[in-house]
Amino acid sequence: MGVKHKVLVSDDVSENGIEILRKSPVLEVDVKIGLKKEELIKIVGDYEGLIIRSATKVTADVISAAKNLKVVGRAGAGVDNVDIAVASKRGIAVENTPGGNTVTTGEHTFALICSLARNIPQGTASTKAGKWDRKLIGVELLGKTLGVVGIGRVGSVVVKRAQGFQMHCIAFDPFISAEKAAEIGVELVSLDELYKRADFISVHSPLTEETKHMISAKQFAMMKSGVRIVNCARGGIIKEDDLAEAIKSGKVGGAALDVFEQEPPSADNPLLQLSQVICTPHLGASTNEAQENVAIAIAHQVVAFFEDGVIMNAVNVPDVDPEVLKKIKPYLSLAEKLGKFVSHVGGKGVREIEVATSGELAEVDMKPLATSALKGFLSHFAGDDVNFVNAPFVAKERGIDVKTSVSKKAINYAGLLTINVKTDEGENTISGTIFGKEDARITSINGIHIEAVPEGNMLMFTNVDKPGVIGALGTYLGQKGINIGQFHLGRSAPLKDAISIVNVDSELDKSVVEGVVKIPNMLKAWAIKL
C-alpha cells in the first residue's frame, strides 16, 4: 500500500464513525477536538480530509492554510460554518449528511412546543427550589392552530406530531404545491395570514438575506395576543430584541429557542432574563441516534471519496464524469445561479420547473444541468438540506414536477440555458449563456432581452417605461450609501413595461427594497444575492 491520505477529525464525532475511517486501508486518521483557530491553521496543511460538526469554523484563512485539502465532511446538514465559495474556488468538495437528524430535530421542536404550552421547565425549576407553584397555568394543544414556516423535512415531522395532538396546521412555504400540502395535511397560507391566525409558530427556514430578522416588531404586531414562538432552525431569523419586547408587553405569551443569533448567547441577552422563555443550547440534532447516523454517513462518504474517487452529498460539486465536467462546468455554475435568481421572483405554490438547453448544450447530458438549476432554486428556502445529490428528491417531496427539454435549433449564442417555473400565481422564465470560457450572462427574463452579470448583490425591478425612473433610483440608492457597479436595462417595447438589473457593492435590506417600490412608476423590486 502506498502513502495514505491523512484525515483530521476536529469535532466530537461518534466513535463508530471514526472506526469506519480507521478501517480504511487508504486513510490515516487523527482526532483532535477543540482546536483553536490558530491551532487548526497551523496543522491543517498536513491533511487531505477534514471531518467536522458545527464547532469547527472552516473560514477562508483555514482554507488558505489547507494546501492539500481535498474534501470537507460535515456530520450534519448545516454548512454555514464553511466558506463554500472559497472552498469551491480551491476545488475542495464540501459534503454533508442531509436527513440524518431530521426526525431528531422535529422531535426536539415538538418537545419544546409541549414544554412551552405547559410550563414544564418553569415548574421543574420552581419545585426543585422548594416551591409548590400551582399558578403555572398552561394551555391545551387540542384545537390550537400551529403555524409552520417552511414544511420541508423537519417541518413535515413537526406537522405529523402536531396532528397527533389534534392541532390544526397551517403553513407558509413558497416552494410547495397545493396538492403536496394537502397530502401532508396542512393549509397553505401567506406569511401575514399565518402570523394573524396561529396560536403557536414554529420556524423551519434557513438563514438567508431574505429570512434574517423576518420575524420582528412588525410581524409580532400582527400576531394574536399570547402567541407562542418556537425556533429550532437558525438564530437570526427572529430579531431577539424585538421578541424580548413583545414578551414583556404580553403580546407574545412565551418562546422556546434552541438557537440564537450569537452562540452561546451573551449573559446580557434580554431573552435569558425572561421567565416566559425556555431555551436549550442548540440540541436539535443531539440524540444518540442522530449523531450515530450522521457520523457513520460522513465516514462512509469520506472513505468513498479517497478509495473510489466518488463524491457523495456534495453541496458544491455535482456528480459528473470528469471529462464531461470540464466541458460543462461554467454552465453548471450558471444553472445554479439562474435557479437561485428565479426563485427570488417566482410566485407561491411551485408546480413545475422546466430546464431547457439549446445550441452546443444540446449535445451534453441534461441531468447535471437540471440538478444544478434545481439546487439553486430550492436552496433559497431549503438551505443546506438540498445538495447536488438530493435536489431531485427534495423537489419530488414538495410536489414539484421537473421537466427537461433539448433543442438543436440555431440560436444567437453558442449555448443557451433556460429555466421556466410555473406556480399557482403564474410563471417566470430566465435564460443565460456563457461568453468565452466562463463569463456568465443573463440574457432574458420573461421574454425581455437583457444582458446582466449574475453575481454578488443585485437589485432587480420592473417599472413603467417613463422618463425619470432610472434617475430617481440612482438618487435614492445614493442617499442610502449604495454604490452602483453595473446597470442593465431591458424593455418589451417603448413606453411599456421595462426591467432592470443593478449590480451593487453592498447588501440590500428589506427597507431599501421597500423604498425602491415607492418611487413613481416603479412596479416591483427584489433584492437578490448570488
Full pLDDT tens readout for the chain, 530 residues: 567 999 999 999 999 999 999 999 999 999 999 999 999 999 999 999 999 998 999 999 999 999 999 999 999 988 889 999 899 878 799 999 987 888 999 999 999 999 999 999 999 999 999 999 999 999 999 999 999 999 988 999 999 999 999 999 999 998 888 888 888 999 999 999 999 999 999 999 988 878 899 999 999 999 999 999 999 999 999 999 999 999 999 999 999 999 999 999 999 999 999 999 999 999 998 899 999 999 999 999 999 999 988 888 888 877 666 666 677 888 888 999 999 999 988 778 888 999 999 888 877 778 889 989 999 999 887 776 777 777 887 888 888 889 998 887 757 788 899 999 998 888 999 999 999 888 899 999 998 999 999 999 999 999 998 899 999 999 999 999 999 999 999 987 665 789 999 999 998 988 899 999 999 999 999 999 98
Q: Which helix (DSSP H) or strand (DSSP E) does residue 396 occupy?
A: helix 391-397
> H helices within 148-264, ranges in order?
153-164, 178-184, 191-197, 217-222, 240-249
Residue 351 is among the residues annotated as catalytic for this protein: no
pLDDT tens for 321-338 read 666 667 788 888 899 999
259/235 Cα distance (integer angstroms):
5
pLDDT (0 to 100) of residue 284? 92
95/322 Cα distance (integer angstroms):
18
pLDDT (0 to 100) of residue 234? 92
pLDDT (0 to 100) of residue 322? 62
pLDDT (0 to 100) of residue 399? 86
pLDDT (0 to 100) of residue 243? 98
Q: Which of 90, 282, 449, 488 is catalytic?
A: 282
Sheet holding 252-257, edge to edge: 187-188, 168-172, 145-149, 200-203, 227-231, 252-257, 277-279
pLDDT tens for 280-296 read 999 998 899 999 999 99
Please tell me whether the overall predicted TM-score, pTM, comes out greater than 0.75 for this model. no
Q: Which domains does the chain have, with CATH numbers?
A: 1-100+287-317 (3.40.50.720), 102-279 (3.40.50.720), 325-446 (3.30.1330.90), 455-530 (3.30.70.260)
List, as one string, the DSSP characters of 190-202. Answer: -HHHHHHH-SEEE
pLDDT (0 to 100) of residue 484? 94
Nearest to 170 by CA among 193, 154, 148, 191: 148
Q: Are 518 and 475 in contact (CB under 8 A)?
A: no
Q: Which of 263, 289, 307, 514 is catalytic?
A: 263
Residue 263 is among the residues annotated as catalytic for this protein: yes
Contacts of 226 (CB under 8 A, 6+ apart): 199, 250, 252, 253
Q: 3-class DSSP state for residue 365?
A: coil
pLDDT tens for 464-494 read 988 999 999 999 999 999 999 999 999 876 6
Q: Are 29 and 36 in contact (CB under 8 A)?
A: no
Q: Are 233 and 206 in contact (CB under 8 A)?
A: yes
* Angle between helices 469-479 and 510-517 in degrees, nearest 10: 150
Residue 398 is among the residues annotated as catalytic for this protein: no
- Give how far Cα 35 sits from Cα of 38, 43, 92, Å: 8, 10, 21
Residue 304: other Cβ atoms inside 10 A: 15
241/249 Cα distance (integer angstroms):
12
With 0-12 / 13-18 / 19 or more C-beta atoms within 10 angstroms meaning exposed / middle / buried, residue 322 is: exposed
232/116 Cα distance (integer angstroms):
13
Residue given cell 423590486 in the structure block: 525
Q: Which three cell numbers stand for residue 268?
A: 446580557
**Amino acid letter for position 282:** H
Q: Which of 234, 344, 380, 398 is catalytic?
A: 234
Q: What percent of the residues of the chain are helix, what percent strand, and what percent coil, each to the nearest 5?
A: 35, 25, 35
Q: Are 182 and 163 in contact (CB under 8 A)?
A: no
Q: Are 285 and 385 in contact (CB under 8 A)?
A: no
Task: Say if strands 49-52 and 5-9 run parallel, antiparallel, or are unpaired.
Answer: parallel
pLDDT (0 to 100) of residue 235? 94
**Amino acid letter for position 471:** G
81/58 Cα distance (integer angstroms):
6
| Radius of gyration in angstroms for the set of CA atoms belonging to the chain, rounded to a whole number | 24
Residue given cell 420556524 in the structure block: 203
List, as one string, the DSSP characters of 431-483. Answer: EEEEETTTEEEEEEETTEEEEE---SEEEEEEEE--TTHHHHHHHHHHHTT--
Residue 464: other Cβ atoms inside 10 A: 13
Q: 3-class DSSP state for residue 349?
A: coil
Nearest to 300 by CA among 32, 46, 100: 100
